[in-house]
Structures are given as C-alpha cells and as structure tokens.
Amino acid sequence: MRRLFIVPILTALAVGGWPQDGRASHPRLLLTAGDVANITATMHESPGFMRSLARTRTRVDRYFASDPDVPAPMDAGGGYSHEQHKRNGIAIREAGIVYQLTGDRRYAGHARSLLLAYAELYPGLGEHPMKKEQAPGRLFWQSLNESVWLVNAIQGYDAIVGTLSDNEKSAIEEGLLRPMADFLSVESPQTFDRIHNHGTWAAAAVGMTGYTLDDSAYVEMALYGLNGDGKAGFIRQIDLLLSPDGYYAEGPYYQRYALMPLVVFARSIHNNDPERKIFEYRGGLLLKAIYACIELSYGGLFFPINDAVRGKGLDTVELRHGVAIAYAMTGDPKLLSVARMQKSFVLTSDGFKAAMAADHGKAEPYEHRSMLLRDGPSGEQGGLAILRNGAGPGHQALVFKATAQGMGHGHFDKLHWIFYDNGNEIVADYGAARFLNIERKNGGRYLPENESWAKQTVAHNTLVVDGESHFGARLAVGERFHPDVLYFGSDKGVHVAAASMDGAYEDVSFSRTLVLADGVLADGLVVVDVLDVTGSGARQYDLPVHFKGQVIATTPPLRAKTEELLPLGSANGYQHLWLRAETEVAADALFSMTWLAENRFYTYSIQVEEPLQVLFAELGANDPQINLRREQAVILRMRSTGDSTFVSTLEVHGEYDAAEESTIGSEGSITAIEHFSGGDGALVKIANRRSGERYLALSNQSGHDLEHAITIAGREFEWSGFYGLFDRNGPIRK
Amino acid sequence: MRRLFIVPILTALAVGGWPQDGRASHPRLLLTAGDVANITATMHESPGFMRSLARTRTRVDRYFASDPDVPAPMDAGGGYSHEQHKRNGIAIREAGIVYQLTGDRRYAGHARSLLLAYAELYPGLGEHPMKKEQAPGRLFWQSLNESVWLVNAIQGYDAIVGTLSDNEKSAIEEGLLRPMADFLSVESPQTFDRIHNHGTWAAAAVGMTGYTLDDSAYVEMALYGLNGDGKAGFIRQIDLLLSPDGYYAEGPYYQRYALMPLVVFARSIHNNDPERKIFEYRGGLLLKAIYACIELSYGGLFFPINDAVRGKGLDTVELRHGVAIAYAMTGDPKLLSVARMQKSFVLTSDGFKAAMAADHGKAEPYEHRSMLLRDGPSGEQGGLAILRNGAGPGHQALVFKATAQGMGHGHFDKLHWIFYDNGNEIVADYGAARFLNIERKNGGRYLPENESWAKQTVAHNTLVVDGESHFGARLAVGERFHPDVLYFGSDKGVHVAAASMDGAYEDVSFSRTLVLADGVLADGLVVVDVLDVTGSGARQYDLPVHFKGQVIATTPPLRAKTEELLPLGSANGYQHLWLRAETEVAADALFSMTWLAENRFYTYSIQVEEPLQVLFAELGANDPQINLRREQAVILRMRSTGDSTFVSTLEVHGEYDAAEESTIGSEGSITAIEHFSGGDGALVKIANRRSGERYLALSNQSGHDLEHAITIAGREFEWSGFYGLFDRNGPIRK
C-alpha cells in the first residue's frame, strides 16, 4: 500500500511528455501527460502562454543560478527562513513544470536537488520555534504554510518523478512527502478535520500527495475526513464553507485564498477521478465560487470586508488558476478579459486554453452587475448585496454586508456598507490591521489592533449601541445569529437591498434599506440609507461613516479641537479614535458634510427626529507601535428612548480638475430629508435644490403583488411591492 | 490711430481662410490666415489634430446649445459668476478658432453674441465686490483673471472680426476691448509695470489686443512698459523673471502659469513682428523655459515646491501650448512624446505641426537627466539641482532647492530637498495650502495655513534654528539673500550637488551636500545628505524629514503618545504639528526609521556626534477649518553649542507584493554612519551590513584638478576635485 509503482518510460522524456496510460503516468495533477503533449505541440501559437513560460523559465534559471539555501526553520512570517522555504516550495513546482514543458532535464535536476535536501532536513524537525496560537508547522510557524508548501512541492515531484532513481524516489517519499502528509493529516486532526480554509489547504495537500503516490488512503482522508465518514474533508468543506451562490463564509479575501486549494484539488480530482464529477457537485458550485470571487471586487481589488489585507485582487495567483479553470470548464469568453487583466497565465492545461483563446481575440468584456450573494450552506444566513450603477472602470458600487459572522476572521459589523465611485473607495472598510509578511510588524501576523480596532463595530459603517460592539465582540455569540435579507431588487437605475438584524444587542433590533439610484431620487447619483432601530429605554445610538477624502465643509460647521486631542472613548475601538472636531444638530435639522476625493465631491446628509451630536474622529489613539493607518470617520450620535430612524443620503457630484483649474458642482443639492411612518409603510421625502421633491416609500414587505399606501399631509402614496418612488406629480416608473 | 482697417474679403470665409496679405489680415495671433489655409488643406492627415478639433467643436456646440449666461460679477474664485466668466472667455476663443478651422459661420456668431454681451456689461462695472488684497478686477475679484480673460477673448475676436459689421466691431472694441486693455495697463500701473507673472499676463493681454486692433501703442506698452523706457514690460520680464537656464523665479507651478502669456504673446510677436526674433532673445531663452518646465516634473507632475497646487503637470493647457511651440521652433522629436502624453493638441499652427509629426510616428522618448537650473536673472542666485537615477517611469529623482526666494509665492526653505522613487513622492513638500477654485475653502484662494504652515521652514526638509523660520519668514529679508551653489556633478550612477546658505539666520550659516548614488555607496540606491551647520553659542537645530508612507519600525523604538496629543510648539508652523511620538538617541549612535510606500521600503538613518531627540509629528493642530492634509514628519533635534554636522542616508530597498504575498528586503542595510573632518576636507564612512564599508570624501572645493587628502585612523584618502569615493580597498572609479 505504501509502495508506488512507476513505469520507467525514460525514453519519452526528451520531449517532456509521458504516454497517457492511466494511473501509471505522470504528471497527473494540474497538468497531465496528455496535456503536456498537446501543449508542447501547439504552444508556439499562443504568444501569451509562451511569454508566461519564458518568464517562469527565467525566474527558475535565476533562482537556481546558485544552489538555493535550505535553512533551519527559525523565523516567523516575513522572516528569512520563512520566505526562503516559501520560495523553495514554489521553485520545486516551477522547475518541475518547466521541465515538462521544455523537456530540459536540468530543470528536473533543480527540483530533485531541492526535494532531496528537504528529505534530509524534514525528519529531524520538531515543532517550529516561533509557533504561536495557530496550529504549528515544522518548516513554518503555522501548519497552514506547510500545507501550501506541499501543494506546491507535490506538483513539482509529480512532474519529475519519472527522472528519479528508485533510491531518490524512496528518499523523497519516505523522508519528506509521506511524513509531511502524515503530519498534516493524522498528526494534526484539529486542523485537518476542521471546516475552515486551513482544513481545505491540508486536504488539498494530502489528497494531491495521495494521487501522486497512488495512495488512495490519503485521497479518501482528504475527501471524507480522517475517519472517512464524510463529516469532515473536502466534500464536507464544499458543503459548509460555500453558500449556494458560491459565497465563502469568511469573505472575499479568504475566499480568494480558499479558492486555490478548492480549485487545484478539484482539478486534480477531475483528472484522476473524473467519475466524481467534482465540478458539477452542488450545481457547479466551485465554478460559482470562482465567478463570485470576480464579482466581489471593484477596480480589480477585492472588497476589504472582514479580515482582509488590502491590495489583493483579481491578479492574484489564486484567481489566475480559478479563471483559467472556469474558462476551460465553461468556455465563457467574458472570463478571458479577466485573464488578460491578470497579465500572465498559469502553466497548466487550463492556463494554456485561456491563453490560446485570449490570443485569438476571443475575449469579451466582463460586465459586473448588481447581485445578491446569499450566505450560509443553504443560503439562509443573510447575504452580501452588491449594488452597481454601470459596469465600467469608474462605476458606482455599494456593498451591503448582511452576511453571517464568517468565523474567526469575521468582523462585528452587521448591516455595514461600503461605497465606491470613480475608481476609489469612498465610504470605506478599514480591512485587517496587519502587515502581511513584514517581520518587524508582529512577525507579519495580525496585529493587536486587529482585535481592538479592525474587528470592532465602530470601525464600520453601521449601528453601535451604547458604545459596545455587536455581540459584545464575542465570536461564539456572533456565530449564533445572522441577518435576514428582506429584499433585493435591481431595475432601471434603481438598486435596492434591505436586511434586518436581531441578536446583535440585547433588546435592540435594527433593519436597514440601502438604495443606489441614478437620476431618480435626486438629479444625479445618490445613495439613500434608511436605518430603523427598535429598542427600549434610554440608549445611545452611534452611526459611524468612514470616508476617504478631504473635508471641504459641513453644515453646521464643526468646532475643531485645536490645542489638544483626546481619545473618544476607552474601549471597543473608541479608544483608538482621537476626537478631532464636533458639533450639534437640532432635532429635524439637516447635517451635511462635503468632501473631495481625487477629482469628485461627495456630500453626506442626515436628518433625524432627535438632536444629533456629530463627532469627527481620526484614527491613531492608543496605538503604541504606530500600527494603524491614519483614517477618519464622522460619527452621528443620538440618544434615543426607544425606536429611532437614521435617514441619510450620499450624493456624488461635481468635478475638481487641477490641470484645467476648473471646479464645478462643488455643493450638494439635497436640502432636507424627512421621514414619515404610518399606514403600512414608511415614506422618505428628499428635497433637492434643483429637481424638487422626491419620495421613497418602503413597505418592508417584498411581495411584488402586495399593494401599499401611506397618506402624508393629505396626499396618498400608493405602491405595490417593497418600495415605491414618487415625485411631486405622482409615481415614478420603476 | 484708434480705427482698425479691415479688408472685407468675405468670399474667402466659406473655407475659413483669409488671404495672407500682411497686417490687414486676420487671424494673426497664434493662428494666422496662412496657417488656416495650410491646416484646413491637410488636417485630415492627422487623426490626432482632427480628434482635438472634434472635441473642441463638441464642447463649443454643447456650450452654446442655449445662450450662455453673462452674470453680474459677484463671486470670488470658484463661485458661480467667477467660473461662468472664465468659461465664457474660453468659449469666445474656442468658438472663434472652430469657425476658422471649419468655416462654419454659426461659430463666429456664438463668439460674436458673447462679445457683444460683454461690450454691453463691461462699461458699467466698477471694482469687483469681492476684491481682496490682490489688485482687483472688474469681471473678476483679481485683475489677473481679467488679463487671462482678455488673452482668450482677443483670440476669439481676432478669429471672427472679419464677420462683424462696422457697428459690431465698434461696439466690441469701444465697449469691451479698449476699456479692458486700458484698465489692465494705464489704469493698473502697479500690476502692469510689475516684474511678476501678473505683469506678464497683463502684457500679453494688452499686447495681443494691440496687434489685433493694429494699435501699436498697446504693443509698445506691452513690450516696454507704460512709459516705454524698457524698465518694465514683456522684454524686461524675460530679462528678470527667467534665469539663463530658463528657470522661473517662483518655481515650477508658477513657471507653468507664467509660461502661457510668455509663449502665446511671443508667438503673436513672432507672427506680427518677426524681425524682433523674440524666440532667439537671450540665447533662445523662451524655448529653454519650456524645456525647463518639462524637466521640473516627475511622473508628469510638477515638483510641488513653493506655492504649488498639487496635481498640475505636463498635461496642462500651458504646456500643451509650450510643447507645441517648442516643437515648431526646434523640430525636436523628443518633445512629441511629451505631446502624446498630453492627449490633445492646441488648435494652432504649432499644435497642428506637432500633431502631424506625432501621428506620423516621429516621437522619440523624452529622457529626463540630472541637471542644474541656475536661478536669478544672470544665473548667480543659487539654483535648483535635479539629480536623477535613470529616466523611466519609476526612476529616482532628488530635487535640491538652493534657489532664491522666488517672490511672494516663495517658501522659507533654503537648501530643502524632496525625493521621488517608484512613481511616488517619498520625501515630500507640502505644496500650497489652497483648494483652488473651491468656493467654500476661502473662496478658492490661499488659506491662512499657507502662511502659518506651508511657507514656514519646519514644513520643509531643511534646517530650522531655534524653532524659527529662515529670515524670520519675512519676504523682504529673504529677497536680500540667496544660496550659493558650490558644486554640481553627475557621472556614472553618482549625482552630487552642494550649496551653502548665509543670511537665513543671524550667526548661523549652513551648507549641504546631497549625493544620489546607485550601487556605489551601498548595495542599492542611497541618498547621502551631509548638512554642515556653522554657528556660535547654544542653539537648537531641527532637521525635519517629511515622508510619505506607513512607519514600519524605528531603532531605537518610538514612545508613542497614546492618551493625549499636544502641539509641538506655538509658532512658526510648529503649532500645526501634533507630537505623536518621540525617542532619544545617544551621541554617536544610529537612529533609523523604515517605512513602506506602495510596494517598496525606505530607511532613513542618521548618526551625529551630539545626542538627538527624535520627534514624530502629524499635521493638524490649530487647524480650526480642517484645511490641512494629514501628513507626517520626523524631526531630528539637536542642541548644539556651535558647529554641528547632520549626516544621514536614505536607502531604497526591498519589495512588498500584496498580490503574491511576498516580502523581500524589508530592512535597511546601513549599520553606522561616521563623519570625520580634518586635513582639507571631510570624510563620511557608511558601514553596510552586506557590502561592507564605503567612504564619501568631500573637499568643498569644486576645481577638478585640485588634489585633496584626509588621514583617518592611519589610512590616507586622496582624491581630486569636489568629492571622492572609496571602499575598503581603495578609491572607487568615478
């Protein structure tokens, strides 16, 4: 069972191919022997693929110009030994693939020498000296990196195994591959059987090792968990980690990361066990997850919700694999324009297909659209609504986060929203407090401020009650509750999503409707935000708006602190905010704030029935290591004795052109926002300096056929379904 | 004398051309009748020019879709009436030009109706109601805008005069053009005869009006001043405002602005009085000024020294004119790649030549290079040294500001420097505190913080003595002194500039040598900064470094203020800085600070003989209107009893790749910086973790043939000229 049978057809190696004769042939993971024959015969017809191969070959040549160091494990993330082992793992894979695609045995030799060095090193390793709370590895401070390493190395081994002597094979398999696969599986049950991206990486590493070594025990464990009952393992992970819409519970940043083991292992399963029809599983869910990843982005960068390192996007290696596989499976020409944006192609059969098609001009534009991605294994744990006006580079996108908690990387930010315009994040999410792989910033790991700031509710654009975070910032509590999506609709320039949340606070529930409308509720583009809070007794409601840009003016003006800054609070994230300025707004009066971001103006306006305190805050207090970025927020604070409604708008307007020295439309046009409830719904009246009054009626009932009415000041507003739109004359066509 | 003779050859209008018969023909300013004939005959061969014409035509069509408003003057910069008059002025010019190039008389009619409306309005206007300290206009709050308006409008009038009836001509000339030209000249002697960009705009407006109306009195005034003696006027302005290298005293932002009247009036002179050979004047100085403008930029944006609104660069309309004229005069194909970056072409004969050549593939790359631009009318008032390593998009550029004061827009920043790398400003200049044309920010004018912060010495990267700005921030004192350039040299990856400054402080002089070296004084690219201060008695020397990016780590670590922020001082700009963190560094110990900007690391290191106090400050204190951007600086503070030397380095290193999750070289490599003086020079020893010791010897004497020597620890260092470079073995080839 532990012996691998290899057919030594070395004569085929000169052209880098292997005869395609079933399980005995190599390679067999992302690239099969048949693929190699096909690619090498026709790859000169794809300049894009040839460029990617040439770049990889040059990189491998440089890397092996001298013998790569295989250091004793010592450093945490970002440190020398950590980065060197990561590089070595990738080099093993790349050298193997270049060997297959060029037939040049020197590359097989490069991979072999590294694998033999690791086979020498690995058996003597204990737990990594820099282990922390995470499950420790041996080569790396956390076992996750070890899984990633093996996913790379096994592909390299698979590519060169035919060039190895029996002694070499035995040394590498017994000294490195099996001990590592065993370490990641039977010796690490808490990770391996976990429904989590760490578990997915471990399953992929062990399962791909199983296919390569022809060891079906590894494959079975990887698919169905350590004891084979299917309560853990890859199939269960697909069941539980992805929603029916392909949304991954932890959010886009980890969706990308989890995508890699999902798709590369799935591709390996498809190549070795096609009868499992893994890409058809759960209605083609893995392909939906790849598409969802693409949709979870703006300007090529992922929405930075939950723990997310900013700057990650569609050009990552995970998406290069994902998009190539999705194209190979679907032939969807829109995916080719994403592939072209990625600039290079993965050196697999799928990458080759995508490159060839892109080079033959088959790409069609990828147009984002408004959509709801339901969350939870059965799609009933809330969802992420993406409202988009337009689809081009500067389009507006509003992301409404009504998802479940998302495990340990989830933030306490129920019914939070972010907004993009003109290529920029305008209403922002901080993302994670982390400098990935930068050794001197806490070893590249999450910073303490990730817990004390980034995860806290006040770091987001949603309701904070009595200065405390949702669920008291307790993960176990957060995982017991989730929002409910009340409505999602997108039609002719009007995009609407609504959700409700119970359980974030004792005795306080809230629901929120966000509308993105172009030229309907105001002259230009406007976001309308209706946040209904149901509570009892005297409570403090804070609504933060984290915005990017330079404040131009507010009405009423802010009183700035000029001589001293003090923290806004002492806990739950407030301790990190300096109170920079403040003002008060009378009941039923409008507060508005205009800011400039790049060359466009934004005006946020709010009007409520209670007096408002406006707090303008800057991030950076209680930050001894200067770990936090300098960001800013305005916080609208209301003292309520029960139910209250925050109704606010965000206008996009004007243009500031420094080159032409011209400024137009630098002031917002909304002059009043009134909110009425009664009958079977609520009505928001938006008074506009230029285009007069507009009305948004909300029923909070989504049935399209239900009729609603509300009478305000003698005028009756009648509509059917969730919402209605009116101007001074009557209903506006939806 | 006040009557214009027009030859009414209306038959030629159908194709937009006029016979070329000398002074009687129109147009005659930037576009002559002959140009029009030539352009209209061949313009279909230049898609670039056709696109620019089509865009302008569309803009004009839209503008005149309804009758443009000609409001009563009311608002300051950025306000409605201000912007509307600006737009109208441009529309008159553009409608006129489109008429000439298309022959479509509707465009002439558009320009005519606006001109007639202004001829109606103008005579009744008094001083503008929003006038401030600047010389007031009538249409605008400052007369400067009125000059700009006339430069535009006269081009439009020149283009359509042939379509006007005698009554119309008379109405426009007597009601608008002459009254405005008179107002800007004889009625505003303090502006018109001023050697200043406002004077240049006034001269251009009046002179171009003179050519158009065939009124040589206006032309003479414009060229030689109100009383014609040449002590003022355009020729004197060229003599005094531009250095022999084409550097304009106020710096690049105003150089761009002043360039427009300089080149458009010069082009008008060239077309009407070719015998003046204006473009050959002072060794072709106007062309040098255009080239200097191009060199005063990085990544297409101007260096933001002195009063400068950020975001201005080579794509401005001023540079579109300048580059087109320079190309027409020189045929230099490198200018065409600047023109292509500008995306559109001016609709003049010069723009047409550039467009045609660019469209025929004649562009060659514009490669920036290291250079010294001397300042002052005779080039003896210091200069601006631009040190560049490479020339491509991510090259390094160091700008050493050893220029004279630069009049009222100059900052108190003698021997200041800024640094660019990787497309970004890394060591920064704040620029001006101003939101150009944004009405709600002080009417779009300079903000109070421009005086209290942006001009002050501490807002720059240069020496502050006893917390006071250079010259006590008094312009009149600053104009009495200027730095002296001691050395400038650029050779094989080593770029060196040195200058000295006396008079910025009583009893304190300082000199500074800045070296930009690639692979010579360290493994990679490094800036070495040697700042020698000569003083007497106990003084406090502050050296601020304004840097852009996120602090990663310092050695020794900073102690951050976590619970309260207080201003760093009470005056001279210090009142605007919050003290965010601090630390102390022992005498002869190294302080280093690493930060991350985009995907690259930067390490600033300093080591001095005295103990250092390190102050980390953030901008924003005493800023009641939230006018300041949130910027940061580290300030190195030393208490000296006389002469002291700051020796510091800035290393560029490593890479942070979020997409690939890889980080390399995140730590600087310099471990010690020692400074020795003796013999006839000084020696800086730079110890480097990887490449060992390197030495920079400085003689402070620039003669190439002078031999120097210094003996340190028994080793003799010998070199000739200003500087020498050594490693552990001996001299390094220069």
Return the ∠ at Cα B181 (arms to B180 and B182), rounded to 5°. Answer: 90
Mean pLDDT of B624-629: 96
A423: left (phi over 0), alpha (psi -120 to 50) or beta: left
| Rounded Cα distance, A373 and B217, in Å | 75
**pLDDT > 50? residue B713:** yes
Helix pair angle (B252-272, B317-330), 10° resolution: 50
Size of interface A-B (CB pairs under 8 A): 145
Contacts of B632 in chain A (CB under 8 A): 630
Provide the shortest C-alpha distance from residue B319 to chain A (in Å): 10
Q: Fill in the amino acid letter for B730.
A: G
Residue of A539, A509, A534 lying closest to A639 (CA atoms): A539
Mean pLDDT of B575-596: 98
Confidence class for position A6, pLDDT limits 50, 70, 90: very low
Residue of B559, B558, B579 lying closest to B568 (CA atoms): B579
Q: Which of B316, B564, B629 sits opposite A565 (nearest CB)?
A: B564
**pLDDT > 70? residue B245:** yes
**pLDDT > 50? residue A266:** yes
Q: Could you tell me whether strands A396-403 and A416-421 are parallel, antiparallel, or unpaired per DSSP bridges?
A: antiparallel
Provide the shortest C-alpha distance from residue B660 to chain A (in Å): 6
User: In this structure, are residues B483 and B499 in contact, taking their beta carbons and an 8 Å threshold?
Assistant: yes
pLDDT of residue B615: 98
Provide the shortest C-alpha distance from residue A339 to chain B (in Å): 15
Confidence class for position A449, pLDDT limits 50, 70, 90: very high
Confidence class for position B22, pLDDT limits 50, 70, 90: very low
Confidence class for position A32, pLDDT limits 50, 70, 90: very high
**Interchain CB contact of B65 with A (< 8 Å):** no
DSSP 8-state assignment for residue B276: G
Contacts of A316 in chain B (CB under 8 A): 659-660
Instruction: Give me the residues of A, 96-135, that contact B with CB < 8 A.
Output: none
Confidence class for position B444, pLDDT limits 50, 70, 90: confident
Q: Which of B440, B550, B659 sits opposite A312 (nearest CB)?
A: B659
pLDDT of residue B24: 62
Which residues, including other chains, have CB under 8 Å from residue A22's CB and lie 6 or more apart?
Answer: none
Q: What is the C-alpha radius of gyration for chain B, rounded to an integer number of angstroms?
A: 28
Strands (E), A448-568: 464-465, 484-491, 494-505, 508-518, 525-534, 539-546, 550-555, 559-560
Mean pLDDT of A266-292: 97
Q: What is the DSSP string of B34-75?
A: HHHHHHHHHGGG-HHHHHHHHHHHHHHHHHTSSPPP-PPS--
| Rounded Cα distance, A186 and B106, in Å | 85
Contacts of B562 in chain A (CB under 8 A): 621-624
Q: Which of B78, B438, B663 sits opposite A437 (nearest CB)?
A: B663
Residue of B408, B480, B505 lying closest to B133 (CA atoms): B408
Average confidence score pLDDT of chain B = 93
- Which of B224, B254, B574, B656 does the annotation list as catalytic? B254
Instruction: Give me the residues of B, 454-483, that contact A with CB < 8 A.
Output: none
pLDDT of residue A1: 36
Q: Which of A83, A563, A661 sits opposite B663 (nearest CB)?
A: A83
Confidence class for position A255, pLDDT limits 50, 70, 90: very high
pLDDT of residue A577: 98
Minimal-distance CA residue of chain B relative to A314: B659
Contacts of A621 in chain B (CB under 8 A): 562-563, 565
- Which of A110, A198, A270, A409 does the annotation list as catalytic? A409
B691: left (phi over 0), alpha (psi -120 to 50) or beta: alpha
* Per-residue pLDDT tens digits for B44-89: 999 999 999 999 999 999 999 999 999 999 988 778 899 899 999 9
State the complex-level ipTM: 0.89
User: In this structure, are residues B564 and B478 in contact, taking their beta carbons and an 8 Å threshold?
Assistant: no
Task: Identify the residue among A565, A575, A576 best suited for mutation to test binding to B, counting B beta carbons within 10 A and taking the highest.
Answer: A565
* Per-residue pLDDT tens digits for A313-369: 999 999 999 999 999 999 999 999 999 999 899 999 999 999 999 999 999 999 999
CB contact under 8 A, B553 and A661: no
User: Tokens representing B731?
Assistant: 């001299």
pLDDT of residue A608: 96
**pLDDT > 60? residue A734:** no
- Which of B26, B82, B409, B675 does the annotation list as catalytic? B409
B37: left (phi over 0), alpha (psi -120 to 50) or beta: alpha
Provide the shortest C-alpha distance from residue B559 to chain A (in Å): 7
CB contact under 8 A, B552 and A309: no
B409 is catalytic: yes
Please state the length of chain B: 734
Contacts of B548 in chain A (CB under 8 A): none
b/e per residue B344-360 (b: at least 16 CB within 10 A): bbbbbbbbbbbbbbbbe
Contacts of A86 in chain B (CB under 8 A): 662
pLDDT of residue B79: 83
B254 is catalytic: yes
Q: What is the DSSP string of B132-167?
A: -SSPP-SSSSSHHHHHHHHHHHHHHHHHHGGGS-HH
CB contact under 8 A, B656 and A312: no
* Per-residue pLDDT tens digits for A565-598: 999 999 999 999 999 999 999 999 999 999 999 9
**Interchain CB contact of A512 with B (< 8 Å):** no
Mean pLDDT of B601-630: 97
CB atoms within 10 A of CB B229: 10
Instruction: Give me the residues of B, 648-677, that contact A with CB < 8 A.
Output: 656, 658-664, 666-667
Contacts of A78 in chain B (CB under 8 A): 663, 666
B230: left (phi over 0), alpha (psi -120 to 50) or beta: left
**pLDDT > 50? residue A228:** yes
Contacts of B659 in chain A (CB under 8 A): 311-313, 315-317
CB contact under 8 A, A624 and B83: no
Task: Identify the residue among A85, A579, A661 best suited for mutation to test binding to B, counting B beta carbons within 10 A and taking the highest.
Answer: A661
**Interchain CB contact of A699 with B (< 8 Å):** no
**pLDDT > 60? residue B5:** no
CB contact under 8 A, B663 and A552: no
Query: What is the 3 state secondary structure string of B511-577?
Result: EEEEEEEECCCCCCEEEEEEEEEECCCCEEEEEEEEECCEEEEEECCCEECCCCECECCCCCCHHHE
CB contact under 8 A, B563 and A567: yes
Please state the length of chain A: 734
pLDDT of residue B1: 36
CB contact under 8 A, B624 and A560: yes
At residue B244, φ and ψ (nearest 5 deg) are -60, -20
DSSP 8-state assignment for residue A658: T
Provide the shortest C-alpha distance from residue A632 to chain B (in Å): 10
**pLDDT > 50? residue B17:** no
Minimal-distance CA residue of chain B relative to A600: B438
| Helix, strand, coil in percent for chain A, rounding step 5 | 35, 30, 35
**Interchain CB contact of A440 with B (< 8 Å):** yes
* Per-residue pLDDT tens digits for A552-562: 999 999 999 99
Return the ∠ at Cα B165 (arms to B162 and B171), rounded to 5°. Answer: 105
CB contact under 8 A, A552 and B435: yes
User: Tokens representing A361?
Assistant: 């001009």
**Interchain CB contact of A312 with B (< 8 Å):** yes
Confidence class for position B734, pLDDT limits 50, 70, 90: low
pLDDT of residue A24: 61
Which residues, including other chains, have CB under 8 Å from residue A348's CB and lie 6 or more apart?
Answer: A30, A31, A35, A267, A321, A324
**Interchain CB contact of A447 with B (< 8 Å):** no
User: In this structure, are residues B52 and B351 in contact, taking their beta carbons and an 8 Å threshold?
Assistant: yes
**pLDDT > 60? residue B442:** yes
Mean pLDDT of A660-681: 88
| Rounded Cα distance, A74 and A128, in Å | 7
**Interchain CB contact of A570 with B (< 8 Å):** no
- Which of A107, A224, A247, A254 does the annotation list as catalytic? A254
| Rounded Cα distance, B322 and B481, in Å | 32
Contacts of A581 in chain B (CB under 8 A): 626
Mean pLDDT of B631-641: 96
